């Protein structure tokens, strides 16, 4: 069975897709979402094999949802849109497929064939489609100005500028802000790709928001002490100092 999540802010669009996806014997609909924030939470909780993801949604677009995913954990993506320019972007994403509204049942069946083919080759074409879709979603949306973080059993969006520093811990990253610390199941490298140039690594397991750096003090053997505006004191390895110095204009 292929476990599928439906995401669209329009109820009639969800209804049509639900009816047609209920017909094939190998498709199981595991949930429906009406906005991007709900979609991101459902993807994390339900871990579907594939997501039919509407691009144009209020609050958080389908492209923004895709940009928040990590390829190693992401489902296969089918972008759905009523706008030609978005359909072209979705096609460029090399997602499994895109559906341009209004689509008919024959077009959906072709999409399901592509999904089955990609899912049958998870280590090859399927994995490359996930990576390409997420990478290009980030290119389309630019560096993320917002980050999805867990808040209890819910997800919330925080401003990336509010993040002071990031610390890797095995397969997780601790996100430190002035008010709270959040833990994401992400790699630090992937998170830095998403957040863009405002963050820089100062250690193999630590990165800082450049705007939060208050002072630098040399230690020994080229290492430095980094003091952030919020009071955190971190250690910078000498192998990373050139990048931080370059971005700070030292």
CATH of the domain at 46: 3.40.50.2300
Residues 95 and 154 in one domain: no
Describe the crossing of helices 11-21 and 105-119 by its angle, rounded to 10 degrees.
70
User: Into how many domains does the chain fold?
Assistant: 2
Closest alpha carbon to 148 in 53, 38, 230, 46: 38
Residues 191 and 162 in one domain: yes
Residues 75 and 52 in one domain: yes
Where a domain ends, among 141, 172, 201?
141
Contact at 8 Å (CB) between 240 and 203? yes
Q: Has residue 145 got a pLDDT over 90?
A: no
| pLDDT tens digits, one per residue of 148-204 | 998 887 888 999 999 999 999 988 999 999 989 999 988 999 899 889 889 999 999
Residues 91 and 205 in one domain: no
Give pLDDT, residue 59: 85
Residues 82 and 115 in one domain: yes
* pTM attached to this predicted model: 0.80
Residues 13 and 131 in one domain: yes
Residues 16 and 137 in one domain: yes
Residues 86 and 195 in one domain: no
Sheet with strand 233-236: strands edge to edge = 213-218, 224-228, 233-236
Over residues 72-93, the mean pLDDT reads: 77
Where a domain ends, among 106, 141, 176?
141
CA distances from 177 to 2, 164, 165, 182, 212 (A): 39, 5, 7, 8, 10
CATH of the domain at 183: 2.40.50.1020
Residues 130 and 22 in one domain: yes
Give pLDDT, residue 249: 67
Close Cβ partners of 225 (under 8 Å, ≥ 6 residues apart): 216, 217, 218, 219, 233, 234, 235, 236
List the domain range (segments joined by +) for residue 187: 146-248
Residues 115 and 238 in one domain: no
102 versus 125: the higher-pLDDT residue is 102
Residues 96 and 32 in one domain: yes
Contact at 8 Å (CB) between 39 and 33? yes
């Amino acid at each position: 069975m292929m476990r599928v999540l439906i995401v669209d802010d329009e109820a009639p669009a969800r209804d049509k897709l639900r009816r047609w996806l209920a017909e094939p014997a190998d498709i199981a609909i595991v949930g429906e979402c009406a906005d991007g924030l709900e979609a991101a939470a459902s993807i994390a909780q339900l871990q579907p094999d594939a997501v039919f993801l509407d691009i144009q949604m209020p609050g958080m677009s389908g492209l923004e949802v895709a940009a928040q995913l990590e390829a190693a954990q992401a489902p296969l993506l089918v972008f759905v849109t009523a706008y030609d320019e978005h359909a072209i972007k979705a096609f460029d994403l090399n997602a499994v497929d895109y559906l341009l509204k209004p689509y008919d049942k024959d077009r959906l069946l072709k999409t399901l064939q592509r999904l089955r083919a990609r899912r049958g080759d998870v280590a090859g074409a399927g994995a490359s489609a996930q990576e390409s879709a997420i990478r290009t979603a980030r290119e389309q949306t630019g560096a993320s100005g917002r980050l999805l973080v867990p808040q209890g059993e819910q997800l919330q969006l925080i401003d990336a500028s509010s993040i002071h520093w990031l610390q890797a811990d095995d397969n997780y990253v601790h996100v430190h802000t002035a008010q709270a610390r959040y833990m994401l199941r992400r790699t630090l490298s992937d998170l830095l790709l998403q957040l863009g140039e405002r963050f820089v690594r100062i250690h193999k397991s630590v990165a800082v928001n450049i705007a939060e750096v208050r002072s630098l003090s040399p230690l020994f053997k080229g290492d430095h002490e980094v003091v952030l505006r919020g009071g955190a004191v971190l250690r910078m390895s000498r192998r990373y100092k050139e990048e931080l110095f370059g971005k700070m204009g030292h």
